[in-house]
Amino acid sequence: MNSMKGKVAVITGGNSGIGKATAIRFAKEGAEVVITGRRQSVLDDAVHEIGYGASSVVGDVADIGFHRRLANELSERFGKIDVYMANAGIINLAPSAEVSEEEYDAHFSVNARGVFFGVQSVGPLIRDGGSIIVTSSLAATKVLPSHTLYAGTKAAMAAFARNWAIEFRERRIRVNILSPGPVETEILGKLGISEADRPGLEQHMANLIPAGRLGRPEELAEAALFLTSAGTFVNGIELHVDGGMSLI
For the chain, percent helix, then strand, then coil, each to nearest 5? 50, 20, 30
Q: What is the pTM of this model?
A: 0.93
- Residue pLDDT tens, the chain, 248 long: 689 999 999 999 999 999 999 999 999 999 999 999 999 999 999 999 999 889 999 999 999 999 999 999 999 999 999 999 999 999 999 999 999 999 999 999 999 999 999 999 999 999 999 999 999 999 999 999 999 999 999 999 999 999 999 999 999 999 999 999 999 876 555 555 556 666 767 787 888 899 999 999 999 999 999 999 999 999 999 999 999 999 98
Chain centroid to Cα 156, Å, comes to: 14
Q: Compute, in degrees rounded to 10, the torsion defined by CA atoms 170, 136, 87, 238.
A: -40
The pLDDT score that the predictor gives to residue 190 is: 53
The pLDDT score that the predictor gives to residue 191 is: 55
Give the active site residues: 150
The pLDDT score that the predictor gives to residue 186 is: 66
Q: Which of 82, 180, 75, 95 is nearest to 131 (CA)?
A: 82
The pLDDT score that the predictor gives to residue 228 is: 97
Domains of the chain: 8-243 (3.40.50.720)
- Give the burial class of 218: count Cβ atoms within 10 A of its Cβ; 0-12 exposed, 13-18 middle, 19 or more buried: middle
> Are the beta carbons of 27 and 51 closer than 8 angstroms?
yes
For residue 50, the 8-state DSSP code is H
- Max Cα-Cα span within the chain: 53
Q: Compute, in degrees rounded to 10, the torsion defined by CA atoms 164, 59, 74, 49.
A: -100
CA–CA separation, 52 vs 2, rounded Å? 13
> Are the beta carbons of 68 and 117 closer than 8 angstroms?
no
The pLDDT score that the predictor gives to residue 27 is: 97
> Are the beta carbons of 13 and 19 closer than 8 angstroms?
yes
